[in-house]
Amino acid sequence: MCGIVGYCGPKNCTPILLDGLKRLEYRGYDSAGIGVESEKGPLVVIKRVGKIAQLRAAVPPTLQGHCGIGHTRWATHGGVTDTNAHPHQDMSGKIAVVHNGIIENYGPLKKKLEQEGVRFASETDSEVLAHLIAHYYRGKLEDAVGNALRQVKGTYGIAVIHLDEPGKIVGARCGSPLVVGVGDGEMFLASDVAAIVSHTKQVIYLSDGELVSLSASDYSITDIDHNPIEKSVDEIQWDIEEIEKEGFFCYMEKEIFEQPDSIARTLSGRLDIEYATGKLGGLNMTSRELLAVRRVKIIAAGTSWHAGLVGAYLLESLARIPASAELSSEIRYRNPVVEPDTLYFAVTQSGETADTLYAMRELKRKGARVLGICNVVGSTIARESDGGVYTHAGPEIAVASTKAFTSQLAVFYVFALLMARMRDLSFIQGQRFVEELQGISAKVRETLAQRDRIQNLAKKYYRARDFLFLGRGIEYPVALEGALKLKEISYIHAEGYAAGEIKHGPIALVNEETPTLIIVPRDSLREKTLSNMKEVKARGGPIIAVCTGEDEEVKAIADDYIPIPAVDELFYPFLTVVPLQLFSYFCALELGRDVDQPRNLAKSVTVE
């Protein structure tokens, strides 16, 4: 959450900052601001509530400068006001700071500074940093930042400029991502490579406890005690076109329709046709070590947790390994028991999700082997895990995750195949599994062809105030995901349940005004799910069914249905989730919601 961008070089920094913030808007869109070392002398800070468009309108076209920082905010401390927006300044107006994260001890720090005569302008914890840096400033910004950060408890990704040291940006991180962009006679700093990929593909990922000093022509990286650190320069592997809408109405629509390709990228090179198994070299585990695994535990949050629930079901069904998926926000504070033969997966699109990162660190502290599944190269979880898998889904800009979910599924399917072939799955069974995986992208594309049907259903049902989503077995997590999507982007209340649980309470919610969306593919649990459909129907509840083809029994019960192609029953989650994503998307459009940037939400949640 929140986005940072900085620039120093020969170009006018103002349009670079504004364009960078626009590309980071998915990380926070309550308010935004820039701080520019103007050519006329003073440090110019402009901040506005609202989207980047509001900020852009407030910035004079004559504002010129060669060094500056910008920020787009997702509020944590203090209301959404111009004053609480970043950058924050010290009383002299010479220092400007942008900050992602939470300063946990800002209360006592603020009190101490106020006792020394400092006057605070905002309600935020972040403003403490500006005054604290000013307190320690003695002519060298790096020293002041390092001294200030030694007093801080919490998480931060910061960028700082000082009018007395023009052309310099100092950045530091602890728990909130920062990346340095190395250009030709210019340097960049950002919380996400999306902000800078149009200018350079050469990047350096900072780690926790590191501080960087940038000028137009050079950079140096140290710890906060100023001990030098050597870092390698990496290359971004995707292009600016991948974060453009490319003719789609919004990013979410684009990312839903990218799924045939994103799944194919995830699977590329990871299916061993000759031996009918999976290949995941990044696990950093030998066959003997994998064979010794007796249990798998998956930690994740939100959509990634739902993917983990599918993965756990798959591992037990296919590989016969006990598996479970748990919410990472609960793991850290539960004093988890770590067993020596248990393998953990930390699953996150961004690789920066705070809950999952802290849970991973707690598990590793207890001696667990934790592998990461994430989409962002160079992310914290990718670097700190014991190994893992990149999903290669491509940049996901919409706050509500779609293609990341199916790419995470693809990783779990490959891993389950790998583990199953080492145990009880025969070569012939492995071949069939590989064939199903190879064909799944085409089946997803076929499912997407139901777009118009689903849009018409959304027009029929979008006025409903409540929805139930039901699924059984491996489809239960898909029901949870469908309900989450509808809540996230349409603000319609929705609940996902295991279909068998409806009679244990949720059936009390069924009435003529509460539609139930039931996932009922042609699988081994179909008859049971049909019974649940009849229970809903008997109580007057409207039913939308996601079913395999023209299922006449389903059609006889449901008010409406969405057909999907036939696949082996273990593979239906790839297909059943797509209509739910589209249904949520079209309901949100009918209601006039901001689909890509829904209220109160932000991408890459880096605070607990």
Q: What residues act catalytically? A: 2, 603
> Smallest Cα–Cα separation from 603: which of 235, 207, 266, 304?
304
Provide the 8-state DSSP code for 246. Answer: T
Contact 433, 276 (CB under 8 A): yes
Q: Determine the Cα–Cα distance for residues 261 and 268; give it in Å rounded to an integer.
A: 10
Give ∠ CA 196-198-202 in degrees, rounded to 5.
60
Quote the tokens at residue 147: 């001294």
Q: Determine the Cα–Cα distance for residues 482 and 470; give it in Å rounded to an integer.
A: 9
Q: Determine the Cα–Cα distance for residues 17 and 71; give it in Å rounded to an integer.
A: 9
Dihedral over alpha carbons 391, 393, 395, 397 (to 10 degrees) = -110
Quote the tokens at residue 501: 């649980």
Q: Determine the Cα–Cα distance for residues 484 and 302; give it in Å rounded to an integer.
A: 8
Residue type, 474: I
Contact 584, 489 (CB under 8 A): yes
Q: Determine the Cα–Cα distance for residues 215 and 232; give it in Å rounded to an integer.
A: 18
Other CB atoms closer than 10 Å to residue 341's CB: what's the count?
A: 9
Contact 13, 169 (CB under 8 A): no
Other CB atoms closer than 10 Å to residue 465's CB: what's the count?
A: 8
DSSP E strands, 307-379: 323-327, 342-348, 369-374
β-strands 295-300, 323-327: how paired?
parallel
> Smallest Cα–Cα separation from 390: which of 439, 352, 351, 361?
351
β-strands 234-235, 202-205: how paired?
antiparallel
Q: Give CA separation, 184 vs 95, 181, 215, 460, 590, in Å.
A: 27, 10, 12, 55, 46
Contact 177, 152 (CB under 8 A): no
Q: Determine the Cα–Cα distance for residues 125 and 104; give it in Å rounded to an integer.
A: 8
Buried b or exposed e, range 499-525, using 16+ CB within 10 angstroms: bbebeeebbebbeeebbbbbbbbbbeb
Give ∠ CA 9-178-360 in degrees, rounded to 5.
170
Q: Determine the Cα–Cα distance for residues 251 and 400; give it in Å rounded to an integer.
A: 10
Q: Determine the Cα–Cα distance for residues 485 and 220; give it in Å rounded to an integer.
A: 43
Burial of 50 (0-12, 13-18, 19+ CB in 10 A): middle
Sheet with 219-223, strands from edge to edge, namely: 88-89, 95-100, 156-162, 169-174, 210-214, 219-223
Quote the tokens at residue 273: 């046709």
* Length in residues, the chain: 608
Contact 119, 91 (CB under 8 A): yes
